[in-house]
A = this chain, B = another copy of it.
Amino acid sequence: MSSLLKDTDTAILLVSCRDQPGIVAALSDFLFQNEGNIVDIDQHVDIENGSFFMRVEWEIEGFAVPRDEITAALAPLVEKYDLNCSLSFSDITPRVALFITRDNHCVYDLLSRHESGELRMEVPLIISNREDLQSIADRFRIPFHHLPITKENKIEQEKRQIELLRENQIDLIILARYMQILSPLMTEAFPNRIINIHHSFLPAFPGARPYHSAHKRGVKLVGATSHYVTEDLDEGPIIAQGVTPVSHSDSVHDFVRKGRALEQSVLSRAVWLHLNRRTLVDSNRTVVFG
């Protein structure tokens, strides 16, 4: 997970395919023949399902293939091994939309990590179904779009959201405690590109008010789960999870308070992994090249 070479621009290739002999050798050789200086390489074989996953990162400078010809140069390997490839470059900053409602802690945490340079992203807009947190957007001079949602206008408003996301060429949506369920319209428009933070240790306590349910059940740890959003609520591929201890003497309010730091931490970890192209989705699970 080395991030020492902050100043070196790199190319990142994510590969998935059926497991078969010679893939690592072929891809390593491709980079070696073209004088690619590998700075990070990791792979995973899912033996049970016969799947192969790889992430390789190499320096752009000195690489024999110009960046807009890399895809073409890879084509023979793609064909031979039936690879699914995703190529990206560290100097092209992902564009991110934040969806928020009333809770301020996750959005502050993301924006402070953005400000400090830790999260390399641009945030051209914030969308909210309420006006409560407009002042945060104002403080950071980020355009704030208030799109209130009712049962009646949900689809219409999601269409407006998607329009805004397209206009702003958004690569990733972060639901930073956004208290609305997305319709398939949205989840299908951004597959594996919407990250949510759920305030429980999924699959325990899905749905609404998980801290209340956890308190009622008398658990001794509360959790948080960051996952890609799919059509099935709280069922998407998990990227990161964490827990923190609680006791009988904690009220629901204490659960909420103790959970906040956890939600921040788990969400920002998941976002960092995605922005650095360290996640791959394997059916309903993630491969995390951490």
Q: Which residues of A contact B (CB under 8 A)?
A: 1-6, 21-22, 24-25, 28-29, 31-32, 35, 37-48, 103-105, 108-109, 111-113, 115-116, 118, 139-140, 201-205, 217-221, 223, 237-243, 245, 247-254, 257, 260-262, 264-265, 268-269, 272, 282, 284-288, 290
- With A202-B204, A284-B218 already in contact, the answer to whether A41 and B21 are too (CB < 8 A) is no
Cβ distance A91 to chain B, nearest Cβ, rounded Å: 17
- Specify how many copies of this chain sit in the oligomer: 4
Which of B38, B237, B264 is the one whose CB lies under 8 Å from A218?
B237
Q: Which residues of B contact A44 (CB under 8 A)?
A: 248-249
- Known contacts being A116-B103, A261-B265, is A29 close to B25, with CB within 8 Å? yes
Q: What's the minimum C-beta distance from A32 to chain B, rounded to whole angstroms?
A: 4
With A3-B253, A262-B265, A264-B265 known, 6 other A-B pairs at CB within 8 A are A1-B249, A4-B48, A24-B24, A203-B205, A221-B242, A223-B243
Give the residues in chain B near A202, CB-CB below 8 Å.
Answer: 204, 217, 219
Please, which residues of chain B bring their CB within 8 A of the CB of A240? 220
The answer to whether B272 touches A268, judged by C-beta atoms less than 8 angstroms apart, is no
Cross-chain pairs A/B with CB under 8 angstroms, 9 sampled: A3-B257, A4-B251, A24-B41, A25-B31, A201-B243, A203-B219, A247-B288, A248-B288, A257-B272
